[in-house]
Structure 1
Amino acid sequence: MLHTFLIILAVLALLSIVLEEVTHINKAKTTLFLGCIAWVSLFIASGDAEQTKIVAEELNENLLEIATLWLFLMSTMTFVAYLNAKGMIQIMVQKLFPQRVSVRMLMIQVAMFSLFLSAICDNVTATLVSLGLLTTFKLDKQMRRRMAVLIIFAVNSGGVALITGDVTTLMIFLAGKVHISDLLVLFIPAAVSVMLLAVLFSLKAEGEVKTTPIKQQFRTVDVVIAAIFFTTIVMTMALNVFFSIPPVLTFLTGLSVMFLVGHMSRPDKEETQVLEYIRQVEFDTLLFFLGILLLVGMLKVIGTLDLLTQVYSMYDPNISNFFAGMGSALLDNVPLTAALLKAEPVLTTVEWLGLTYSVGVGGSLLVIGSASGIIAMSKVKELTFVSYLKYVPALLLCYCVGYGLTLFMAQQIHA
């Protein structure tokens, strides 16, 4: 009875996201409310002290994961808010992209930029920077929405080929299931599928767009902070690979350096202090993450994820991997991957690569299926759950092409 009630709460949360345009109730508030109610219900129904202790431990574990993501998001978004306010992102765009470009060529350039960026840094940073590019071009609403969808797919695709790009890839690598040389194979299917989506989206795209010219009136401190941001990204990757230091710790260190530099370079009476840029972080995005992860944590506690692993083992691994990717569009891919690793299925290297690709890219099939999708939905007003659905056929086609190419290339190499 309790499990049924909790699953109904999860379904209601999904409906609140789907029907946001109808109800005009902010999805961040509804998901947070239902997520909290779910955990309150678990405590009330626990019955005895022993069971209550177990629920409390599960909640603490869930909150630790959420806090880590919150702090990481807050750090990244503060950097990007500062650089965007100072015009640094616009300047980067003017250096990388021509001032006047056709919409079709712009789609391909943005897709490749997002793909490569997400391969070397985390999905959150790649999404925020890539979405920042869109603000520098004069795009209509439909084109901006289409670009945002392309960025979501490209960011999720780029992250599967390197352990620095996606948490699930790192998890599978650390479990000893694949080697780095194996993962590099995934970059080709990822790039092909992203290019295919860019071409499909550009078929009806006509005309040219141009960047908004800006005068390069930035101070030395702005360049220093941009360098701190870049250094933080590089150090995050290096320290995680060599010393297993959590990315959030490195990013918080970089953020503290940013604050110190900003404080020392600006007198109190001057313009807004660097610390004030933290207020530009859109907390609706963070609240939405909080609500979603509370609900996913609840589903993990009641055994829904374990049920999925049981279903996974019933079919051919290649088929199960394909549908596991589609499942990650509804459930967070991190606990889903953790549950599958815990089940210890006996898979070949080819099948592990298929799983790595599917859980990394499959979240793109729905806008709530990945961190990049949730961020994009919060940043791009035209992008909603319902409006995203019209792009699902094209996304599914590209996902199938990428997954099929992954299996083909992996089989050829490991034949």
Structure 2
Amino acid sequence: MLYAFLISLAVLALLSIVFEEITHLNKAKTTLFFGCISWITLFMAAGDPSHEKIVEHQLNENLLEIATLWLFLMSTMTFVAYLNAKGMIQILVQKLFPQRVSVRMLMLQVALFSLVLSAICDNVTATLVSLGLLTSFKLDKQIRRRMAVLIIFAVNSGGVALITGDVTTLMIFLGGHVGMSELLMLFVPAAISVMLLAVLFSLKAEGEVSTSPITQQVGAVDVLIAVIFFSTIVMTMALNILFGIPPVLTFLTGLSVMFLVGHTTRSDKEELQILEYIRQVEYDTLLFFLGILLLVGMLKEIGTLDLLAQVYAQYDPNISNFIAGIGSALLDNVPLTAALLKAEPVLNTPEWLGLTYAVGVGGSLLVIGSAAGIIAMSKVKELTFVSYLKYVPALSLCYTVGYGLTLFLAYHLYN
């Protein structure tokens, strides 16, 4: 009875997201409400102090994961908000993209940019920078929404090929199941599936777009902060690989350097203006993450993810991996992958690569299935849970093609 009630809360949270446009209830607030109620229910059902301590320990573990993600998001989003306000992202667009370009060509270029960027830095940063590019072009609502969907798929696809791009890839790599050179092979099916989606989306895209002209002046300190941002990305990867330093710690260090630079190069009034960019961070995005992760944490604690791991073991690994990818669109792929790794399935190298691709890219099938999707839904007003559903057939096709290519190449190279 308790488990049925808790699962119903997760379903209600999902429905509140689906029907947000009808109820006009902010999805960040509803998911946070249901997430909090689910944990309160766990405490009330504990029964005795010893079980209450267990639930408290589980909640603290869950909150630690959430706090890490929150701080990381806050750091990244503050950098991007500042650079976007100062016109630095528009300058990047003008350097990389022609001033006037066809919508079809823009889709291909944005897809490639997001794919490569997400392979070398985290999904959150890649999504924010890629979405920042869209603000530099004068796009109609439908094209902007289509571009946002393309960015979500490209960011999730690019992240599977390197341990710096996706947490699930890193987890499988650290488990000793795949090597670095084997992971690099995933970039081929990932790139092909992303380009296929870009072509499908561009079939009905007509006309040309131009970049918005930059009117503000860019100061030396703005360039310096841009350098600090990209240096932080590089150092995040390097320090994580060499010394195992958590990315959030490096990014917070980079953010502190940004503030120190602001303090030494600006007057007090100008420094306050720099610090004000923190207030531009979309806290709805952070609240939405908090609610979603509380619910996923609750499902993990009541054994729902372990049950999925048991079902996984009963079928052919290639089919189970494909379904696991689809499942990651409903459940966070990190705890899902952790549950699968805990089950210790006996897989060969092609099957591990298939799982890596599936849990990395499968979250793109629903807008709430990945960090990239949640960020995009908060940043692009035209993108909602319901409007995203119309792109599911194309996304499913490209996911299937990418997964099929992964197995084809893996079995030919490593079996």
Q: Tell me which moved more, 273-282 or 347-356.
A: 273-282
SS of aligned partner of 1:236? helix
1:336 aligns with 2:361: no
Where in structure 1 do 4 or more consecutive aligned residues deviate above 2 Å?
269-273
CA distance in 1, matches of 2:156, 2:307: 26
SS of aligned partner of 1:98? coil
1:291 aligns with 2:287: no
Aligned residue in 2 for 1:95: 95
Aligned residue in 1 for 2:22: 22
- Residues 13-63 of structure 1 show CA distances to partners (whole Å, capped at 9, x for unaligned) of 000000000000000000000000000000000001111111011000000
Contact 1:266 1:273 in 2 (8 A): no
- Residues 321-346 of structure 1 show CA distances to partners (whole Å, capped at 9, x for unaligned) of 00000000000000000000011000
- Residues 166-218 of structure 1 show CA distances to partners (whole Å, capped at 9, x for unaligned) of 00000000010000000000000000000000000000001000001114611
Aligned residue in 2 for 1:115: 115
Tell me by how many angstroms 1:272 deviates. 4.6
SS of aligned partner of 1:269? helix
The within-5 A match list for 1:258-269 is 258-269=258-269
CA distance in 1, matches of 2:56, 2:4: 21
- Residues 93-139 of structure 1 show CA distances to partners (whole Å, capped at 9, x for unaligned) of 00000000000000000000000000000000000000000000000
The within-5 A match list for 1:227-376 is 227-270=227-270, 272-376=272-376
SS of aligned partner of 2:268? coil
Aligned residue in 2 for 1:157: 157
Contact 1:262 1:273 in 2 (8 A): no
Contact 1:363 1:369 in 2 (8 A): yes
SS of aligned partner of 2:346? coil
Aligned-residue RMSD, C-alpha: 0.7
Tell me by how many angstroms 1:163 deviates. 0.3
SS of aligned partner of 1:209? strand
- Residues 279-332 of structure 1 show CA distances to partners (whole Å, capped at 9, x for unaligned) of 100100000000000000000000000000000001000000000000000000
CA distance in 2, matches of 1:319, 1:204: 33
CA distance in 2, matches of 1:366, 1:273: 37
Q: Counterpart amino acid of 1:260?
A: L
Contact 2:263 2:271 in 1 (8 A): no
Contact 2:86 2:216 in 1 (8 A): no
The within-5 A match list for 1:32-181 is 32-181=32-181
- Residues 343-394 of structure 1 show CA distances to partners (whole Å, capped at 9, x for unaligned) of 1000001000000000000000000000000000000000000000000000
Q: Give the total of aligned pairs.
A: 415
- Residues 210-260 of structure 1 show CA distances to partners (whole Å, capped at 9, x for unaligned) of 001114611110000000000000000000001000000000000000000
Contact 1:58 1:301 in 2 (8 A): yes
SS of aligned partner of 2:209? strand
CA distance in 2, matches of 1:143, 1:215: 25
Tell me by how many angstroms 1:396 deviates. 0.1
Contact 2:164 2:237 in 1 (8 A): yes
CA distance in 1, matches of 2:270, 2:196: 49
User: What 5-or-longer segments of structure 2 have no aligned partner?
Assistant: none
Q: Counterpart amino acid of 2:337?
A: T
CA distance in 1, matches of 2:227, 2:270: 23
Tell me by how many angstroms 1:273 deviates. 2.8
CA distance in 1, matches of 2:178, 2:246: 21
Aligned residue in 1 for 2:207: 207
CA distance in 2, matches of 1:25, 1:378: 14
CA distance in 2, matches of 1:224, 1:312: 50
SS of aligned partner of 1:273? helix
CA distance in 1, matches of 2:357, 2:216: 41
CA distance in 2, matches of 1:230, 1:389: 34
CA distance in 1, matches of 2:240, 2:246: 6
CA distance in 1, matches of 2:131, 2:151: 8
Q: Counterpart amino acid of 2:15?
A: L
